[in-house]
Amino acid sequence: MGLKLEKENKHIQQLDRRQMLKKSGLLLAAAPFYFGLKSCVSGAKKTLDADVIIVGAGLAGLNAALLLEQAGFKIKVVEATDRLGGRVHTAKESDVPGHPELGGNGIGGGYARVLDAAQKYGVSMGPMRPRTEARKGELIYRIKNNFILPQDWPAHELNTLPEGYRSGTPAYVTWRHFGKINPLPKNDLAAWRDPKYREWDKSVYGVLKKEGFSDDDIKLVMGTNSSYGVDAQNISIMMYFQILTWIGQQNASTGKGGAIVGGNQRLPEAMGAAVNQDIMLNSPVKSIASEADATTITLDNGNSLRASYCLVTLPASALRHIQMSPSPKGMQQKGIQNLDYTPVVQLHFIPRKKYWEEDGLPPSMWCDNLAGRFMALKNDLRDPERVTSCVAFLNSNVALEIDKMKQADAIALVTKTLEEMRPSLKGALDFVYYWTWVNNPYAGGAYAYWKPGEISSFANKLADPIGRIHFAGEHTAVMNRGMEGAMESGERAAFDLMTLIG
């Protein structure tokens, strides 16, 4: 009877915390929000707020927090924004029907840590929700002011790509060649950081020029709707080798991936609800100091916290706005200052009418203009054929160009571009939501990308501790990428800290 009551009380506590977490998004941005069922003050060191203070409540920070807490350590999490998840971010249903993903999207079958956390913390997996890849038969290209069906593209007069690269969506036709020349062992996910392959830490541009691509061809395949970086000259071919090796491992997995029912942000929210100690929202960090026997974290509001150690899980783009003492040195400093993140801007619309039936063209478009990848999303599990919303997903130089504008001007220009190239869209779209990762001070972009020479110079240095300051985050992961990479990095940092604290 006592055991049953204990389980029921624990369940009630978890429900109370989840309800508190759901309400946290309504809080004023200026007011820090605390949630936690227990004090975070270490019993052994009464002058400290925690054994470890974790900066950032994305997947890396939350995974580290849970592992440290489960091992019996006192932790406190500080988060600059009013929500959990970092770059895992789902639009609210009230903002965009079908609540599309603004950040982390697909969950592969090999995302062991993510899938385990989903099961452990009670969120359900559903089918994958494509965001920038249209279903078969639902995509048309808009290239050089011409609509071209995918089946017509290989022989089209506007297709000037070299022989062997004319078939397939332009942004992905180079991947086959990258796979053929990939020098990394298929079963070694850490090889991309091995100095023995440093000769391959060079630009994609040079590789494609040797294959006979013209500059216009390279701009089409690497500078238009490219998933990573900005252009071919500023991205390392080694990053693509890493991605391809990792994809091979994912494809070999027997696990079942997909998406979190209700949106992927439900996972970090459930993880946060499982943390029994303090998580402080709306609490940007101004400075972090490593001292002889403790660390001091000073918040923007002037308050300070002390702990034996600090774990920073922020992207490099956010970390460079925080003062650290001692300051990073050498290649680590270079990495923090120079690692960039893929620019992404999204404009979300609700279709008033079935414009694709009016003009007889597929509903989604891959465009070489300011419309980017204009995708008709089908995010209603009860009615999977219904278009719930449309998104103009912009990245590369297009995202940078749009993000420089005032938001109203950007919306007007993208809408005008859509309507002028496809008359059936006139009056067909209601704009509902704008999201940018570019000028987000806590992200600086959607996910890290490596420029030529960066992997061999500082990839192995970014996670090096600075005194009592430790680091995690997707950019420090070795074996995985994306959400699973973030989880991996938090796990690695947590185990390192457990060893140090003892």
DSSP 465-482: -BTTEEE-SGGG-SS--H
Mean pLDDT to the nearest integer, 83-102: 98
Please name the residues in contact with 176: beta carbons below 8 A apart, sequence gap of 6 or more.
none
- CA torsion 421-425-426-429 (nearest 10°) is -130
Mean pLDDT to the nearest integer, 11-16: 36
Name the nearest CA neighbour of 88 among 120, 123, 53.
123
Task: Indicate whether 269 pLDDT > 90.
Answer: yes
Q: Which two three-digit tokens encode residue 471?
A: 């680091």
Confidence of residue 5 (pLDDT cuts 50, 70, 90): very low
Q: Per residue in 423-437, pLDDT tens? A: 999 999 999 999 999
Please name the residues in contact with 191: beta carbons below 8 A apart, sequence gap of 6 or more.
184, 185, 197, 245
Confidence of residue 46 (pLDDT cuts 50, 70, 90): low
Task: Indicate whether 15 pLDDT > 80.
Answer: no
For helices 266-274 and 112-120, give the axis angle rounded to 10 degrees. Answer: 60
Looking at domain 2-88+261-339+449-501, which CATH architecture does it have?
Answer: 3-Layer(bba) Sandwich (3.50)
Backbone angles phi, psi at 463, to 5 degrees: -95, 0
Q: Which two three-digit tokens encode residue 210?
A: 């040797």
Name the nearest CA neighbour of 134 among 437, 430, 356.
356
- Write the CA distances from 104 to 86, 88, 99, 331, 413, integer angstroms: 9, 5, 13, 29, 27
Mean pLDDT to the nearest integer, 474-498: 98
CATH 1.10.405 maps onto the chain at 171-251
Mean pLDDT to the nearest integer, 129-138: 94
Task: Indicate whether 405 pLDDT > 80.
Answer: yes
Task: Indicate whether 2 pLDDT > 50.
Answer: no
Q: Which two three-digit tokens encode residue 85?
A: 């998840």
Task: Indicate whether 41 pLDDT > 80.
Answer: no
Confidence of residue 87 (pLDDT cuts 50, 70, 90): very high
Task: Indicate whether 419 pLDDT > 60.
Answer: yes
Mean pLDDT computed over every residue of the chain: 91
SS3 for 398?
helix
pLDDT of residue 408: 98
Mean pLDDT to the nearest integer, 300-328: 97
Query: In the chain, what is the straight-line distance between the N-terminal and C-terminal CA atoms, in Å?
Result: 36
Please name the residues in contact with 38: beta carbons below 8 A apart, sequence gap of 6 or more.
276, 277
Q: How far apart are CA 255 and CA 200, in angstroms?
A: 32
Q: Per residue in 273-283, pLDDT tens? A: 999 999 999 99
Instruction: Choose the weakest-confidence range: 22-26, 144-148, 233-237, 398-402.
Output: 22-26
pLDDT of residue 47: 78
Q: Per residue in 30-39, pLDDT tens? A: 333 444 433 3
Instruction: Choose the weakest-confidence range: 24-33, 121-130, 193-202.
Output: 24-33
CATH of domain 171-251: 1.10.405
Share of the chain above pLDDT 90, in %: 89
Name the nearest CA neighbour of 481 among 303, 320, 244, 284.
244
Name the nearest CA neighbour of 461 among 329, 312, 331.
331
Contact 50/248 with Cβ under 8 angstroms?
no
Q: Per residue in 205-230, pLDDT tens? A: 999 999 999 999 999 999 999 889 99
Mean pLDDT to the nearest integer, 380-392: 96
Contact 21/272 with Cβ under 8 angstroms?
yes
SS3 for 142?
strand
Backbone angles phi, psi at 99, to 5 degrees: 35, 65
- Burial code (b: 16+ CB inside 10 Å, e: under 16) for 452-491 equals bebbbbbbbbbbbbbbbbbbbbbbbbbebbbbbbbbbbbb
Q: How far apart are CA 426 and CA 355, in angstroms?
A: 9
For helices 59-70 and 112-120, give the axis angle rounded to 10 degrees. Answer: 60
pLDDT of residue 502: 86
Q: How far apart are CA 319 and CA 337, in angstroms?
A: 9
CATH 3.90.660.10 maps onto the chain at 129-159+344-436
Confidence of residue 123 (pLDDT cuts 50, 70, 90): very high
Task: Indicate whether 59 pLDDT > 50.
Answer: yes
Q: How far apart are CA 168 and CA 317, in angstroms?
A: 34
Exposed, middle or buried by CB within 10 Å (0-12, 13-18, 19+), for 255? middle
Residue 374: how many other CB atoms lie within 10 Å: 29
Task: Indicate whether 161 pLDDT > 50.
Answer: yes
Backbone angles phi, psi at 243, to 5 degrees: -60, -45
- CA torsion 233-239-244-248 (nearest 10°) is -170
Whole-angstrom Cα Rg for the chain: 23
Mean pLDDT to the nearest integer, 41-65: 83
CA 480 to chain centre: 13
Fold of 129-159+344-436: Polyamine Oxidase; Chain A, domain 2 (3.90.660)
pLDDT of residue 289: 98
Q: Per residue in 196-209, pLDDT tens? A: 999 999 999 999 99
Backbone angles phi, psi at 472, to 5 degrees: -145, -175
Q: How far apart are CA 233 and CA 205, in angstroms?
A: 5
Contact 393/365 with Cβ under 8 angstroms?
no
- Write the CA distances from 418 to 102, 178, 284, 374, integer angstroms: 21, 33, 38, 9
Task: Indicate whether 19 pLDDT > 90.
Answer: no
Instruction: Choose the weakest-confidence range: 15-29, 293-307, 383-397.
Output: 15-29
pLDDT of residue 226: 87
Mean pLDDT to the nearest integer, 48-66: 97
Mean pLDDT to the nearest integer, 115-144: 96
Mean pLDDT to the nearest integer, 411-417: 98
pLDDT of residue 23: 32
